[in-house]
């Protein structure tokens, strides 16, 4: 059996940066075990499997709609083309102030060390902790910030604090920069030490920074070693956010099974 496979770098226009994902085109159904083995072979945080709805279709003449809807465990998610960007329609996830900062104190200290913290929020919908650094810091400070994901994992388990599935460290955009805010994202609780570029984290960041900056249209930069850039457009009345970015196909090949 030969299956077409691609590696796509998302949220970037520059090859070998952004968020890498594998896409495998299936001409037939495969057992779940085989899905898992292929994903392990690709060794990326995301592997998508695409198949036609009808045996009479092929991938060149199948669904040619500009907007595609995906039925997921999080509900229906839509993707569409916006110029040279692909936009995802995602639920907006608000944050709330911490009722008891002491229960997160050690986790925050392990995450950012001695750096000054301006705000800390929690997103109950995603179980993500948002830590905003003081405005005195720069993008370079955020990029150089050393974080030990193993220590984050150990301290959260030992503290008995509310569930944390990811830590977002964020910083306001620097003066004169077209970027509204920067971030890094760590999720060792789900096996991702540092995510290159994270759509779900920006559903939290968009809610927070929109209120802080008084803007509905935001430009964001995730400052992982690979790095990526996102455009965010909020629809507050519907509780949604459009998360868009460029993408590049960096590998085309075949799996031989």
Rounded CA separation 29/6 (Å): 18
| Domains contained in the chain, number | 1
Q: What is the pTM of this model?
A: 0.92
Is 51 domain-assigned?
A: no
Is 74 domain-assigned?
A: no
Give me the CATH number covering residue 191: 3.10.310.10
Range of the domain at 229: 96-245
Q: Report pLDDT digits (tens) over 138-151.
A: 999 999 999 999 99
Q: Which of 215, 241, 198, 243 is nearest to 91 (CA)?
A: 241
Which sequence positions are flagged as catalytic?
46
Is 63 domain-assigned?
A: no
Is 234 domain-assigned?
A: yes
- Residue 242: C-alpha distances to residues 7, 40, 82, 120, 191 (Å): 23, 30, 11, 24, 26
Rounded CA separation 257/246 (Å): 32
Is 184 domain-assigned?
A: yes
DSSP 192: B
Cβ pair 205, 192 in contact under 8 A: no
Q: Report pLDDT digits (tens) over 173-229.
A: 987 779 999 999 999 998 899 999 999 999 999 999 999 999 999 999 999 999 999
Looking at residue 54, its pLDDT comes to 79
Is 24 domain-assigned?
A: no
* Residue carrying the six token digits 């968020």: 19
pLDDT tens series, the chain, 257 aa: 999 999 999 999 999 999 999 999 998 889 999 999 999 999 998 999 988 877 788 888 777 788 888 877 777 889 999 889 999 999 999 999 987 777 788 999 999 999 999 999 999 999 999 999 999 999 999 999 999 999 998 886 665 556 899 999 999 998 777 999 999 999 999 889 999 999 999 999 999 999 999 999 999 999 999 999 999 999 999 999 999 999 999 999 999 99
């Amino acid at each position: 059996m030969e299956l077409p496979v691609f590696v796509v770098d998302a949220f970037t226009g520059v090859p070998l940066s952004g968020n890498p994902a594998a896409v495998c085109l299936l001409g037939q159904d495969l057992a779940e075990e085989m899905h898992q083995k292929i994903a392990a072979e690709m060794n990326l945080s995301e592997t998508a499997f695409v198949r036609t709805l009808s045996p009479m279709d092929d991938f060149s003449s199948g669904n040619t709609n500009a907007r595609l809807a995906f039925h997921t465990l999080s509900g229906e998610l839509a993707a569409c083309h916006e110029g040279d960007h692909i936009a995802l329609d995602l639920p907006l996830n608000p944050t709330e102030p911490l009722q008891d900062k002491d229960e997160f104190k050690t986790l925050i200290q392990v995450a950012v060390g001695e750096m000054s913290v301006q705000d800390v929020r929690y997103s109950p919908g995603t179980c993500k902790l948002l830590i905003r650094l003081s405005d005195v810091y720069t993008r370079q400070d955020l990029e150089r910030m050393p974080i030990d994901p193993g220590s984050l994992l150990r301290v959260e388990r030992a503290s008995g604090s509310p569930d944390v599935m990811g830590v977002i460290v964020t910083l306001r955009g620097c003066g004169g920069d077209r970027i509204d805010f920067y971030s890094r994202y760590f999720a060792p609780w789900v096996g991702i030490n540092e995510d290159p570029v994270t759509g779900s984290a920006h559903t939290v960041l968009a809610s927070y920074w929109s209120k802080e900056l008084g803007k509905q249209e935001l430009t964001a930069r995730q400052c992982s070693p690979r790095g990526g850039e996102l455009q965010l457009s909020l629809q507050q009345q519907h509780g949604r956010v459009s998360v868009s970015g460029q993408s590049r196909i960096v590998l085309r090949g075949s799996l031989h099974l």
